[in-house]
Amino acid sequence: MSVTVTGAHGALDERDFRRLAEAVELVRSTTTARALAEVVDAPAALAAHLEFTHAAVLVAAHGVGDAVAALVALGVRPHEPATAAAVAERLARRTGREVDVRLVRGTVPGCPRGLEVFVAVGADLSDADRDAGAHLAFRVTTDDDVVPRGVYETLLDAALTPDGADDRDGVTELHLRGRTRLALRLPGRRDGLLRRHVGRPDEARRAAFELMTGAWRTRAVAAAAELGVADLLATGPLPTAELAARTGTKEDKLRRVLAFLAALGVLHRDGEQWSLTEVGALLRTDADGSVRDLARIYGGLFYRSFTGLEHTLRTGGSAFEHVYGAVPFEHFAAHPADARLFEGAMAAGTSFLTLVPDLLDLPATGTVVDVGGGDGRLLGLVLSAAPGLRGVLFDRPHVTGAATEVLAGLGCADRARVVAGDFFRDPVPAGGDVYLLSRILHDWDDERASAVLRNIRAAMPAGALLAIVERPIRDDRSVLPLSFNVHMMVNTALGGERTTAEHRELLAANGFTLEDVRDLPLDMAVLVARADAG
């Protein structure tokens, strides 16, 4: 229960009076090193470059006079109150309402340090609001360029996070947050550190331009992939003229694109010589985990299908079908070159599958059934990791054509058999100990996905393992899953990524319990489920 303290120090909430008293004691008795330790666990040597200058607290009062009276009662000499527009603005953003905030500075007799009291007049503040408005201030004692940067970077390394800045009266003040808020005061205008701390003044417009010109990046990377630039640079740097000659392009035009790619981190430039960065090396055809075909299809076939995004939003229909006149698999059947590119791109996007076997609770013996297993690569990797297991690949006949060769290449063809069938209509091979379902559910809505899961559940004994490989949406900042969610909407009639909760509900509705979600690279995951009893 809150208690209001009255008397010589005026009417002030007991919590706020206690905060004031603690701040006064801190200012009177605390060294720079001890004050710094209140904020962060930083190297002891850091305190040698800092001076603890003042403590600041935020209190609520009916009037600024209440805070002034409290300061006097605590032996602090108050200065004339002033407005505190910056704090009022921060508090308004935090609380969602306008707040009148006044600043009362105080001098503690016999102490070189001061006190700042921000008074929210007539406001109802939470403890979190009060904590957010408090800080300890430190001045960098050396007026050069090296020490302030070193102090700032050390604070960031100690896990403090940027929390605003002020730049006025010839002083740059950077705010950081640790256990409490820290104000780092630097003499003079420090434009470089300000940009490092809060970003460029045009950051929002710059971000908007980067979003709007993302298509230019996609096409530049796709053009480099189509021309085979990375393959040409595989053995070392080449000059612009030679790259132009070997790709059949105009030298001056190619130079512009190469410079753009260098700025994007795809290439490294040394005058007219170009070489591959670690990112650019992934565009090589022979690279482990090559993304060349992905770059070609995202910058080609799917780049064009995205021009139908508004059609999907307005009608609910497939953008791919709107643009190409057929759903994807019909289009691929009629266009073999696109089908080969799609198959290559899908293979390029499965490098993470090598990590899946280690995430599975595989029995020493038994049977693994890969439903919709395609070319058999995942099944082959699982069987290679568990020599005592046998495998069954279940998919449509025209999809499994390469499976025998892939399984043989992984040395497990003698332990695997291919069963042709449609996982919507035909019985799934029964009696397996582990069932795999990799990147299938995101192709379908809940109704069709449920049909697949029910068919699998009918084949499984209770307690058998179902391992689902998907890219679940974990939170609202998961850019890759969210972007693929739109991609699936554009390029399939019914597909989309699901949140973890949606996966759990879908599984529960069809006889499974989701037990765990195990992370893979690029926001992929293995969702481990068990077949329920009954």
Give the helix ranges, DSSP H, for 402-533: 403-409, 446-459, 479-491, 500-508
C-alpha 475/C-alpha 356 separation (Å) is 23
Catalytic residue (choose from 54, 331, 442, 487): 442
Element (H, E) at 40: none
- By three-state DSSP, how is residue 85 classified? helix
| Spatial distance between the Cα atoms of 381 and 359, rounded to a whole number of angstroms | 12
Which DSSP symbol is given to 523?
A: G
232 in Cβ contact with 246 (< 8 Å): yes
Cα 288 from Cα 153, distance rounded (Å)? 36
| Alpha carbon separation from 129 to 16, 39, 58, 99, 465 (Å, rounded) | 12, 17, 8, 12, 49
Q: Catalytic annotation on 311?
A: no
DSSP 8-class letter at 63: S
Where are any strands of DSSP class E within 141-295?
161-168, 171-177, 181-187, 238-239, 267-270, 273-276
> Which ranges in 188-239 belong to alpha helices (H)?
191-198, 203-212, 214-227, 229-232
Instruction: Provide the CB-side half-sphere exposure for 272 (13 A, CA).
Output: 8
Q: Which residues contact 418 (CB under 8 A, 6 or more apart)?
A: 376, 392, 393, 395, 400, 403, 404
Phi-psi region of 29 (alpha: psi -120 to 50; beta: other; left: phi over 0): alpha
Return all residues near 112 (Cβ < 8 A) that are at least 6 apart: none
Residue 447 identity: E
d(CA 357, CA 526): 10
Q: How far apart are CA 414 and CA 371, in angstroms?
A: 19
Active-site annotation, residues: 442
